[in-house]
Each structure stands twice: as C-alpha cells, then as structure tokens.
Structure 1
C-alpha cells in the first residue's frame, strides 16, 4: 500500500485556510493513485505529529503544501513527523531545487518519502499561467497583457522570494505575456506600485500564496488601489491609474494544484499511473466554460 499525506499550515483564525488542501486531496482521491490520502496541518487537526500514526500503509509520500523551502518545510514538518536522520542538506537544494528524501519515522518505523514543497516545483509555472487564463476567461491570454507574480518576500528567509523569481523567469522565457515581473509585499519591487512597473493596459496579478487570507484578500487589493476597503469587494478587472487589473487571488486555490502534488509524489517514486492525465482532464476548461466566464 502507498499513502499520500498533504501537509499544510492551516489557521486558527481563518476557517477557509484549509479549503484548498481538502479540495486538492479530494481531487487526488478521485484519481485512485493512492490507497490512502490524508490532510494534515500545523494549526488545525489532524496535526503533523499524529497523522502518520493514523495510516496503515508502510510507505508514505509527504508533500508540503507550502510555497517555499524554509522554517516549516526544513524544520517543523520533519521534526513533527519524527524523521530519523533528517537534514535539509539531503535535499541538496539552493532554495528551489528540493526533490525528496527517504527516511524512517522513528515512532512507527514507516518509510517516509519526504518531498520538497509544491511552490518550487516546475509544474507550478503552469498553474500560475492557468490562473491567468481562469481570471480572464481566455485560454490564449498573453498578447497585450502584463503578468505580475506576487510573493510575500522577507529579510528573514531569502528563499521566500526565490520561488517567485524562479517562476517569473520561466514564464518570461515563454515569451507569452508582453511583460512578466515579480513583485512583493515586503521587499522591492513592491506590489503597492504595480502600475508603475508595467506599460500594458491590462495586468494580471497572481499572488503566489497557498490559500486566500489576510494578505490576498485584504492587504494586496487595498495596496494596489483596487478598493479602499476590502469589505466592499473590488471589480475584476478593476481600474487603477489607467490600467485594468485582473486580480486572481491565491494561486493555491487553482484546481491544477492537485497536479503539482501528484508530480511531487511521482518524482519521489510514487506509482501514480495515469493519474496526472486523469486529473488534468478533470481540471481542463472546456470551450463552454470559457464562454460562460
């Protein structure tokens, strides 16, 4: 038997923080790729520390539903899972290269394939582009549009910005959008000044966050000038300084995220068969879907 554990942060304050985790887990269950699929959280139940004990499978693939390598993926999750011999050096990563490490959970003797976070996987690039397609209702969106990939950014962890810059550069190399730029909340260049960084009339803004919460639903819309008060909502697209801003909300709520989780597990050796193809078919928009947006 093989099992999948999706490890996310969760929240005591925001009841919707765990919604993407449950949604992606349900989508993966539908594929039948794993005998067992479990969600686990730092701030909600079931907790990281207990989840492995609830699974009968001897081989478990753990995929962190986090954007970057850092405190939670390198310290908290391995500690709580009791991964014997864990060291971040096992990932042999410079902040965006984490793949997997196979270890043993000391209290259960189960084999744990501990994967890198979803946010640094190459497949996340396609999810960001898919997010732009979803918000505009245009599967060919790009010409005449700018794309802003937004991260938190912080001086406390340089890896926080690496994933944002990495995917921004990959999308820029596609030469799909007229302009593609990385913006941040807490470092330069800042999302507050989004219109200063683009010449395009239309700008798609995609926050590289797992779940919608305080930052994506309050800070960013107000900082960009989409609304004076987030409680009043905002238009999509919204008019700001002569530009149209297509704000998507957190990328982690995109259905295609389930594919990234599956890709992470497959890279670690999980036998998922044609599950990624199955899930991609489930999430691919039809002509009717696009026409109805």
Structure 2
C-alpha cells in the first residue's frame, strides 16, 4: 500500500496578529484528524516556522505544498518556489515528490464559502438577504491585478444566484478602498454584510476593518452591528479545509491508472 501523502501549509504570517497561525494550524489539525495524511505541518514567510526547516523534517514520498494565499501573486509565484527550490508544479528531491498546489483562494469553491458565510451573517442579524448589500473585501495591490481579479471573480459567481440586493467589491490597498467606502456610507439605507476575502484574521481583518466599521457607527450614531456586519476572514473557515483535501484527492485520482 502506498504511503499516505503529507502536507505543508505555507502562509504569509504576521508579527502583529496570531490570526495566520490560528488559521493554518486549524486546517492542519483537521486534515490530520481525517486520517488521510501522514503529516500536516505549517510554515510562514514571516514570524513563524521557516518553510525550509519544516520541509527538511518531512520524509513522506509525496508532499503537497499548499499556499494559504488568496491569489497567485508575487509570494506564490516567486518567493515560495525560490525559498523551497521548487521547479514548477512537481519537483523531485531527496526521494520525495513535492507537489506545489494552486493558492487555496483560487479554488472555485471559495465563492460558495463566501456566500454561505454571508447568509449566516444575515441570519444571525435577522436580515433578509434580498434586502442586504454584500461587499466582498479583498486585499488588492497597486503593483498587481491578481488579488482584485480573483476577488471580482468570486463576487461574480455569487452574483449569479441573485440572492442579495447588490454585490460589490472593495479593497484594502487599491481603489475602491473599503476605508473610504465606509467613510462615505450614508446614515440610512439597507444593511451591509462585509465578506472578508483574506487567508486569516490578521492585522487588516481583525483590527483595521472592525475599526473602520466602529468609526462609521460612532460618526452616524448607529448601534453596533445594527446595519453593518463583518464576516471575518474566509480563509480561516473550516470549510476551506475540505477544499484543501478535495484538491489533493483530485490530484491523486488523476494519477491512478
């Protein structure tokens, strides 16, 4: 019987928030609990276990390297491959096959998880989805269109179902910026659900966005949570673990004779 594969989850990491560690370790723990993997380790490009050290300690014949990133940008195309010496999607090294997977945020199933989290937020608030504005928030970048493109793609998939009053996108680091959008949000109007398209509840997700919401509530005199609610970072959702396992199972199935 062939040895079970192992998994190395690599995130960006943060020196200011435990969110990235919580998100990555949550996925690793659930993947190990499934009984389908020999090992699941986590590593970070910043403030955490070094990816090179973690990979060096792994001995499985097949190791799936999972970028816990929302888009295929500089870190996933350049930094991680260079750090680990990857030579494309499949790299043979020291008796192991390293399979470098697509960033988890690119998985088509992420749109469904964003949608479900928004519906759950509406239900908890007592809002009718058809009367609720949905704003999908991505990181964005003035240097690359990758983040904005995948954010808009997932928003477009949700829009096809016509479940919400409107579906828009805003970003942290490019226009339209969510900070500016909230500053200009009128006092009166339909409720707004902000869906965080982030890998973890890091600095932006756990501090910046809640802080901007609070500033709007203070300025307008709105009761907290009465009109604007934030879903948190989608990348930490336990349903994302299933997407990771599903993508690996598909890869294995394609290799069967």
Q: Is the CA contact 1:236–1:247 (under 8 Å) kept in the aligned structure 2?
A: no
Q: 1:226: how far off?
A: 4.2
- Give the structure 2 partner of residue 112 of structure 1: 98
Which residue among 241, 244, 249 is the counterpart of 2:232? 249
Q: Distance in 2 between matches of 1:166 and 1:151?
A: 11
1:204, CA displacement in angstroms? 0.8
User: Aligned ranges for residues 91-130 of structure 1 at < 5 Å?
Assistant: 101-105=89-93, 108-130=94-116
Gaps of 5+ in 1: 87-100, 239-243, 272-293
Residues paired across the two proteins, number = 244
User: 1:140: Cα distance to partner?
Assistant: 10
CA distance, structure 2, for counterparts of residue 257 and residue 236 of structure 1: 29
Work out whether residues 195 and 230 of structure 2, in 8 Å CA contact, stay in contact via their aligned partners in 1: yes
Query: Deviation string for 1:233-279 (max 9, x for gaps)?
Result: x96524xxxxx1121221222221211222332343379xxxxxxxx
Offset of 1:44 from its aligned partner? 3.7
2:129 to 134, 142, 152: 142
Structure 2 counterpart of 1:222: 211
Whether 1:17 and 2:20 are equivalent positions in the alignment is: yes
TM-score (structure 1 length as normaliser): 0.75
Q: Which residue of structure 1 lines up, in the alignment, with residue 243 of structure 2? A: 260
C-alpha displacement at 1:37, in angstroms? 1.3
- Quick one: structure 1 residues 236 and 140, their matched pair in 2 at CA, closer, same or farther if it must change by over 3 Å? closer
Closer/same/farther in 2, CA of residues 104 and 246 from structure 1, 3 Å limit: same
- Secondary structure of 1:249's match? strand
TM-score (norm 2): 0.84
Matches within 5 A, 1:38-77: 38-77=41-80
Q: For 2:114, what is the secondary structure of its paired residue?
A: helix
Report the alpha carbon displacement of residue 81 of structure 1 after superposing the two structures with TM.
1.6
Say whether the 8 Å CA contact 2:70–2:104 is kept in structure 1: yes
Name the structure where helix makes up a greater proportion of residues.
2
Tell me how far apart the structure 1 counterparts of residues 201 and 21 of structure 2 sit (CA, whole Å): 10
Aligned counterpart, 1:167 = 154
2:170 to 183, 186, 209: 183
1:22-60 per-position Cα deviation (integer Å, ceiling 9, x unaligned): 111111111112121111211244311122221121111
Tell me, yes or no, if structure 1 residue 27 matches structure 2 residue 22: no
Per-residue deviation, 1:141: 6.0
